[in-house]
């Protein structure tokens, strides 16, 4: 072996670099969690690119620590208690260590012996989670790379089982359609278009004042779709929605799907985890009747991206999704064996994602997830209560999950400039960096939005956030005379 390759694969070097990395990461974690620094040192995209371009042009350095340090300082800190933006977990530190292990193993999962432990754990964990959701004795599922792909996978299964013709074999001859709340995640739109449904095939059901699907409209919308020559094959319930964290009435959707022989898919990417809490389980009532459910472990279950479960009420349904023969991979390409991941998952090579969840469960127990969801959902309610006591703020809707949408209305702001003002506040916050929050648009109005993902975030941090928003708002009003 060449000296370069020998040194690159040396266990001793690995050990030494590994110790250095863990020290670096532990220091990073301590610093981020203390919240001494802003969660984000924002740089314009071209400046960021120029920084790395200059770095790239430097000679190689046998010590990777310099690169690691740059990566750490040029990235947003999800473990900072003042990170409260997008719905991405502040990963459980243990899961980062397990990620290192699975990266080194690089077992690809598609074929059983290329991922023995991973495939077995995937089986075990999907059944465990399906059990917690009450999906029944025949339930099972698989893991895949993210909620977007998981939802597409479930919708492909739905089409295979509910469409009047075999689209996989013959292409689409019917004008197929799905029904979904107008508040659903943009992945639905993308998935539907990938499946060839087109704009007409995505039927958006209006929402009520709590941003939940108006399930009473499912009947009339189905009738209209049929009159338009469409064949609806699935209804998607959000548990919960992305913008406001609202839970659709899943029982009503289940009833409707049963009555009309439609596939009931529940998008629980963010909020299905409520099923692990006695307090919040009522939010997902009816999820046990779904034909398929998606759960992101990298949202509300503290895993690093990407770890997602697609669960089926009838595990066997999953073998209908990709009815494709790959003789070179499997001795019997058509047999429904649970242990060859590639038969049911979109991916061929796939991350050994189950190991991260399993290590967390074995180390901390299920209570870890229960305590987490209860703390985060509870804090969102406290924050909403605090906002209700401020005359210069309003909330969009009482939070059902850990997502809160609110906005600054000041005392003197003219109503037609509130959107503009809140957009400006969010932009100022991004560059000021003290807190990381995002914005969302609800029925044409701009709202500030927090997802309280970090278990270290407290009510005090949220009160400070409100003060910071207020100060920015007052400054902007003064500057621009809103
Ligand atoms: C995040 C999210 C998705 C997309 O999942 P990714 O893992 O980001 O691909 C889909 N649906 C809902 C409700 C989500 O919150």
Residue 301 C-alpha to ligand 1 middle, in angstroms? 13
Please state whether the peptide bond connecting residue 229 to the residue before it is cis, i.e. omega within 30 degrees of 0.
no
> What is the residue with the minimal CA distance to atom 8 of ligand 1?
147
Q: How far apart are CA 277 and CA 303, in angstroms?
A: 18
Please name every residue paired with 407 in a beta bridge, in sequence order, or none if there are none. Answer: 394
Please state whether the peptide bond connecting residue 240 to the residue before it is cis, i.e. omega within 30 degrees of 0.
yes
Token digits for 17? 């670099």
Q: How far apart are CA 390 and CA 380, in angstroms?
A: 16
User: Do the beta carbons of residue 396 and residue 408 sit within 8 Å?
Assistant: no
pLDDT, tens digit, for every residue of 151-191? 999 999 999 999 999 998 889 889 999 999 998 888 889 99
Residue 294 C-alpha to ligand 1 middle, in angstroms? 9
> Residue 331 pLDDT > 90, yes or no?
no
Which pLDDT belongs to residue 324? 62
**Radius of gyration (C-alpha) of the chain in whole angstroms:** 24
Please name every residue paired with 448 in a beta bridge, in sequence order, or none if there are none. Answer: 406, 439
Q: How confident is the model at residue 69 (pLDDT cuts 50, 70, 90)?
A: very high
> Residue 322 pLDDT > 90, yes or no?
no
Which pLDDT belongs to residue 433? 80
Residue 238 C-alpha to ligand 1 middle, in angstroms? 10
Q: What percent of the chain has pLDDT over 70?
A: 98
Which of 131, 27, 37 minimizes the C-alpha distance to 81? 37
Q: How far apart are CA 374 and CA 379, in angstroms?
A: 8
Which of 461, 469, 479, 449 minimizes the C-alpha distance to 409? 469
Instruction: Please state the atom number of ligand 1 nearest to the C-alpha of residue 149.
Output: 9
User: Do the beta carbons of residue 219 and residue 256 sit within 8 Å?
Assistant: yes
User: In which order are the strands placed within the sheet that holds 263-267?
Assistant: 140-144, 308-312, 292-296, 263-267, 231-238, 176-181, 202-205
Instruction: Please state the atom number of ligand 1 nearest to the C-alpha of residue 306.
Output: 7
Residue 192 C-alpha to ligand 1 middle, in angstroms? 15
Which of 149, 152, 270, when mutated, tests ligand 1's pocket best, judged by the most ligand atoms within 8 Å of its CB? 270
User: Do the beta carbons of residue 210 and residue 246 sit within 8 Å?
Assistant: yes
> Residue 329 pLDDT > 90, yes or no?
no
> Residue 327 pLDDT > 70, yes or no?
no
HEC string for the chain: CCHHHHHHCCHHHHHHHHHHHHHHHHHHHHHHHHCCCCCCCCCCHHHHHHHHHHHHCCCCCCCCHHHHHHHHHCCCCCCCCCECCCCCCCCCHHHHHHHHHHHHHCCCCCCHHHCHHHHHHHHHHHHHHHHHCCCCCCCEEEEECCHHHHHHHHHHHHHHHHCCCCHHHHCCCCCEEEEEECCCCHHHHHHHHHCCCCHHHEEEECECCCCCECHHHHHHHHHHHHHCCCEEEEEEEEECCCCCCCECCHHHHHHHHHHHCCEEEEECCCCHHHHHCCCCHHHHCCHHHCCEEEEEHHHHCCCCCCCEEEEECCHHHHHHCCCCCCCCCCCCCCCCCCCCHHHCCCCCCCCCCHHHHHHHHHHHCCHHHHHHHHHHHHHHHHHHHHHHCCCCEEECCCCCCCEEEEEECCCCCCHHHHHHHHHHHHHHHHHHCCCECEEEEECCEEEEEEECCCCCCCHHHHHHHHHHHHHHHHHHHHHHCC
Which pLDDT belongs to residue 340? 82
Q: How confident is the model at residue 323 (pLDDT cuts 50, 70, 90)?
A: confident
Q: How confident is the model at residue 430 (pLDDT cuts 50, 70, 90)?
A: very high
Which pLDDT belongs to residue 326? 61
Instruction: Please state the atom number of ligand 1 nearest to the C-alpha of residue 305.
Output: 7
Token digits for 191? 């998935």
Ligand 1 neighbours by CB, cut-off 6 Å: 87, 146-148, 151, 185, 187, 238, 242, 267, 269-270, 296, 299, 308
pLDDT, tens digit, for every residue of 105-116? 999 988 899 999
Instruction: Please state the atom number of ligand 1 nearest to the C-alpha of residue 238.
Output: 13
Mean pLDDT of all residues in 415-438: 93
Q: How far apart are CA 223 and CA 463, in angstroms?
A: 48
pLDDT, tens digit, for every residue of 332-388? 766 778 888 788 899 989 999 999 999 999 999 999 999 999 999 999 999 999 999
CB atoms closer than 10 angstroms to residue 171: 9
Residue 92 C-alpha to ligand 1 middle, in angstroms? 19
pLDDT, tens digit, for every residue of 4-47? 999 999 999 999 999 999 999 999 999 999 998 899 999 999 99
Q: How confident is the model at residue 325 (pLDDT cuts 50, 70, 90)?
A: low
Residue 10 C-alpha to ligand 1 middle, in angstroms? 40
Which of 180, 240, 242, when mutated, tests ligand 1's pocket best, judged by the most ligand atoms within 8 Å of its CB? 242
pLDDT, tens digit, for every residue of 253-277? 999 999 999 999 999 999 999 999 9
State the pTM of this model.
0.96
CA 412 to the chain's CA centroid: 38
* Tokens 């975030």, residue located: 457
Q: How confident is the model at residue 328 (pLDDT cuts 50, 70, 90)?
A: low
CB atoms closer than 10 angstroms to residue 445: 13
Token digits for 65? 């620590």
The domains of the chain, with CATH numbers, are 3-34+41-75 (no CATH), 107-364 (3.40.640.10), 367-480 (3.90.1150.10)
pLDDT, tens digit, for every residue of 462-474? 999 999 999 999 9
| Residue 180 phi, psi dihedral angles, 5° rounding | -155, 155
Q: What percent of the chain has pLDDT over 90?
A: 86
> Residue 217 pLDDT > 70, yes or no?
yes
pLDDT, tens digit, for every residue of 299-312? 999 999 999 999 99
Token digits for 64? 């990777």
Q: At what angle do helices 418-432 and 459-480 cross, to 10 degrees?
A: 120
């Amino acid at each position: 072996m060449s000296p370069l390759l020998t040194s690159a694969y040396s266990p001793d070097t690995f050990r030494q670099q590994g110790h250095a990395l863990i020290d670096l990461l532990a220091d990073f974690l301590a610093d981020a969690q203390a919240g001494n620094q802003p969660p984000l040192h924002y740089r314009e995209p071209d400046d960021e690119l120029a920084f790395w371009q200059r770095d790239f042009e430097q000679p190689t350095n046998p010590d990777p620590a310099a690169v690691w340090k740059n990566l750490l300082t040029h990235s947003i800190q999800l473990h900072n208690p003042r990170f409260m933006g997008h719905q991405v977990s502040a990963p459980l530190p243990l899961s980062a260590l397990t990620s290192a292990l699975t990266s080194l193993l690089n077992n690809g999962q598609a074929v059983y012996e290329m991922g023995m432990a991973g495939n077995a754990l995937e089986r075990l964990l999907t059944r465990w989670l399906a059990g917690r959701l009450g999906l029944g004795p025949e339930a099972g599922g698989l893991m895949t790379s993210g909620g977007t792909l998981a939802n597409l996978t479930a919708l492909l299964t739905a089409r295979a089982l509910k469409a009047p013709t075999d689209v996989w074999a013959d292409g689409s001859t019917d004008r197929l359609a799905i029904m979904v709340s107008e508040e659903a995640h943009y992945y639905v739109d993308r998935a539907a278009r990938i499946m060839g449904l087109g704009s007409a095939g995505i039927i958006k059901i209006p929402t009520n004042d709590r941003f939940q699907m108006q399930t009473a409209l499912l009947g009339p919308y189905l009738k209209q779709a049929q009159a338009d020559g469409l064949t609806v094959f699935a209804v998607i319930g959000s548990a919960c929605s992305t913008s406001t964290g609202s839970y659709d009435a899943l029982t009503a959707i289940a009833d409707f799907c049963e009555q009309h022989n439609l596939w009931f898919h529940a998008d629980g990417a963010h909020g299905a985890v409520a099923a692990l809490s006695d307090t919040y389980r009522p939010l997902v009532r009816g999820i046990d009747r779904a034909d398929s459910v998606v759960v992101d472990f990298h949202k509300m279950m503290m895993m690093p991206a990407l770890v997602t479960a697609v669960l089926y009420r009838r595990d066997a349904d999953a073998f209908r999704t990709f009815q494709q023969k790959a003789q070179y991979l499997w001795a019997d390409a058509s047999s429904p064996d649970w242990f060859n991941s590639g038969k049911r998952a979109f991916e061929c090579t796939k991350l050994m994602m189950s190991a991260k969840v399993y290590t967390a469960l074995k180390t901390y127990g299920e209570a870890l997830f229960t305590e987490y969801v209860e703390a985060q959902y509870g804090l969102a309610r406290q924050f909403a209560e605090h906002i209700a006591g401020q005359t210069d703020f309003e909330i969009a809707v009482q939070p059902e999950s850990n997502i809160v949408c609110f906005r600054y209305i000041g005392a003197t702001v003219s109503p037609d400039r509130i959107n503009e003002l809140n957009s400006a506040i969010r932009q100022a916050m991004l560059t000021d960096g003290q807190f990381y929050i995002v914005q969302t648009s609800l029925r044409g109005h701009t709202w500030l939005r927090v997802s309280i993902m970090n278990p270290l975030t407290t009510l005090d941090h949220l009160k400070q956030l409100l003060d910071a928003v207020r100060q920015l708002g007052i400054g902007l009003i003064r500057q621009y005379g809103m």
